[in-house]
Amino acid sequence: MTDTLNAPDRHAGRKSLNIPRGWRLPILLLILWQVSSEFSLIDRRFLPPLQDIVAAGWKELTEGDLLVHIAASLGRDIAGFVMGSIAGVAFGTLLGISKIADRFIGPTFHGLKQIAVLAWIPIISVWFGFAESAKIAFVTLAAFLPVALNTIEGMQSISPQIIEVGRSLCFTRRQIFLRARLPSALPSIMTGIHLALIYSWLATVGAEYFMAVGPGLGGLIISGREHFEMDVVMLGVLLLGLIGYSLNKIAETVEARLLRWRDG
Amino acid sequence: MTDIVSSPISTPSVPWLERVQRVVTAFAIPLAFPAVLVLLWHLASTYELMPEQILPYPAYVWDAAVDAIVGGDLLKQISFSAGRVTAGFIAGAVAGLVLGFAMGFWHWLDDHVRPLFTAISQVPTIGWIPLLMLFLGLGEALKIVIIAKAAFIPIVMNSSAALRSIPPGYLEVARIFRFNKLQRLRLVILPATVPPVFTGIRYGLTKAWTALVAVELLASSEGLGYQLNWARQMFWLDTMIFSMILIGLVGFVMDHILARIEVRLQRWKLTD
């Protein structure tokens, strides 16, 4: 409560430390980490000193094939993401514009989407084997769901007046679709695709955990865990987060650019 | 029966008949598509278009379901999973609400914690599992922590945003009415934050359920996820399909219950 009173000169800060507030906690934790592992307050195997993680990264990069792992994961991610998004837009459009399709297939789709996506892994691995195709199939499924869902919603939420205007201007069905439905559904579709990008990255890692054959970041983490190489596991988790974060940022930028017409 | 229905005088039975018709159309159309799928599935396995290891008879899935229900095994697995998800979710929700509201109230706390929180939330839950396995082993603690973390993130995000998004006008009105702090909390702040906070809670429960499936698939010796993984190793497709349906069903029921509670809470907001 006192804070609200001090709010105006919040950024003036105290003279003692000029570290930005957001950095203080992480820096403190890192120092604690480093100190406790240097002085072996905690078993080094559990909390390796920071330089070990950097060293592990360097070693994997130069001697191991970290880049191969990353490339393999990204390749799967993108393949599944693209296929899933295309399928999702197509399926979502069908259900979005056709009442009959929506009434017949919609309930089944909404029922199936209740199944936590990871629960599909066993059956997909039986159907597709443990090969590359199984992983990509799973990523495709994970990308498909949010895109399909948001496309349906976007297509159905168009205001009837817009369609009426189209009709009174004697638009053909095709024109109504291309000039009215599609543009008005676009923001929603973009949201779906954005979600799909996040989900497909999760799914890539998940697929690699369960079908840990061949290169990939998930496989790297799992094998690091099996050999109790904490530094490799931490490196993997760090990369996971970094790549996920970058993908998210890219999607945000692209989305903002594509939807610029709305503000203009 | 037929007599009453066919007689034109008995008007009271007509709405009844209409209702039956409506129920039939409400269920028949949505069920038509899955029925066709099951029929195709049945035909495909009857004519051996697909090997049985890939697509078992629908009847086998049914048998597996009946066996599990009658044998009591099902109840055991569900109660394991439900227990875990409840414990983890409550832990995550309580921690999330406390931190979220604290971050909403105190800017300095938000400034300190937000970047670290964002960094942690960037690594997907599934990414934490192998790391935490090394710290916590494969026991119950691992599952609870993973589930709690999954629920924690969206709840913190929504509850910290909820306090900030109270329209200033509400607080102004409270000031004009000279509400004391307690009244302001009870009559303004709580009702105004219920909808966004509850969205976070519902989202958190969905996340918790997904996390449970993940962690049970990876490291467990009981529960629905384990049953699914076990079926995969034994190539029991019937059990596998049945387990998937169950996972979907339990997830749906939990979300539905929360949706009901949400409606209730909003009603309280309107009437109180």
Cβ–Cβ < 8 Å for B78, B250 = yes
- Fold observed for domain B64-271: MetI-like fold (1.10.3720)
Q: Which residue has the higher pLDDT, B148 or B131?
A: B148
Summarised one tens digit per residue, pLDDT across range B134-178 is 888 888 899 999 999 999 999 999 998 888 888 888 888 888 988
Give, in degrees to the nearest 5, the angle at Cα A141 between B32 and B207: 95
CB contact under 8 A, B30 and A233: no
**Residue with more model confidence, B105 or A12:** B105
ipTM given for this complex: 0.78
The pLDDT-based confidence of A262 (bands split at 50, 70, 90) is: low
Integer Cα distance of A208 and A221 in angstroms: 9
Distance, in angstroms, between B8 CA and closest chain A CA? 33
Cβ–Cβ below 8 Å for A244 and B123 = yes
pLDDT digits (tens, 9 = 90+) for B87-109: 999 999 999 999 999 998 888 89
**Beta carbons of A140 and A83 less than 8 angstroms apart:** yes
Q: Quick one: what percent of chain A has pLDDT higher than 90?
A: 21
Q: What is the full DSSP assignment across B195-238?
A: HHHHHHHHHHHHHHHHHHHHHHHHS-SSSHHHHHHHHHHHT-HH
pLDDT (0 to 100) of residue B181: 84
- What span, in angstroms and rounded, lies between the C-alpha atoms of B236 and B216? 18
Whether residue A87 contacts residue A144, with contact meaning beta carbons closer than 8 Å, is answered with yes
pLDDT (0 to 100) of residue B122: 81
Average pLDDT, chain B: 84
Quick check: A247 pLDDT over 70? Answer: yes
Residues A115-125: pLDDT tens digits? 888 899 888 98
User: Residues for chain B: how many in total?
Assistant: 272
B260-270 pLDDT, tens per residue? 888 887 765 55
- Which of A6, A100, A114 to substitute to test the interface with B, most B CBs within 10 Å? A114
Measured between CB atoms, which of A111, A121, A222 is closest to B130?
Answer: A222
Domain residue ranges in chain B: 2-55, 64-271
Residue B165, classed as helix, strand or coil, is coil
The domain segmentation of chain A, as residue ranges, is 69-257
- Note whether A22 contacts B245, CB cutoff 8 Å: no
The answer to whether A128 touches A137, Cβ cutoff 8 Å, is yes
CA separation for the pair A168, A172 (Å, rounded): 10
Indicate whether A225 pLDDT > 70.
yes
How many angstroms away from the CA of A4 is the closest CA of chain B?
8
Record: contact B214-A206, CB cut-off 8 A: yes
Residue of A nearest to B37 (CA): A108
* Binary contact (A123, B240; C-beta < 8 A): yes
| Least Cα separation, residue A211 to chain B (angstroms) | 11
Q: What homologous superfamily is domain A69-257 in, according to CATH?
A: MetI-like (1.10.3720.10)
A230 interaction partners in chain B (CB closer than 8 Å): 134
Task: Give first-to-last CA distance, chain B, whole Å.
Answer: 48
Residue B104 · residue B156 · CB < 8 Å: no
Q: Tell me the pTM.
A: 0.81
In chain B, the residue whose alpha carbon lies closest to the alpha carbon of A234 is B131
**A186 min Cα distance to partner chain B (Å):** 24
Residue B25 has pLDDT above 80, yes or no: no
Taking only the tens place, the pLDDT of each residue in B197-225 is 988 999 999 999 999 999 998 888 888 88
Tokens of A180: 């009215």
**Burial of B231 by CB count in 10 Å (0-12 exposed, 13-18 middle, 19+ buried)?**
buried
Under a CB-based contact definition with an 8 Å cutoff, are residues B216 and B194 in contact? Answer: no
pLDDT in tens, A147-179: 999 999 998 888 888 888 888 888 888 888 888
B9: phi then psi, degrees, rounded to nearest 5 = -80, -35
Confirm if A84 and A137 have CB atoms less than 8 A apart. no
- Are the C-beta atoms of residues B248 and B224 closer than 8 Å to each other? no
Of these ranges, A10-24, A33-47, B20-34, B141-155, the one predicted with the greatest mean pLDDT is: B141-155
Interchain contact, A240 vs B123, CB within 8 Å: yes
pLDDT band of residue B9 (cuts 50, 70, 90) is: very low
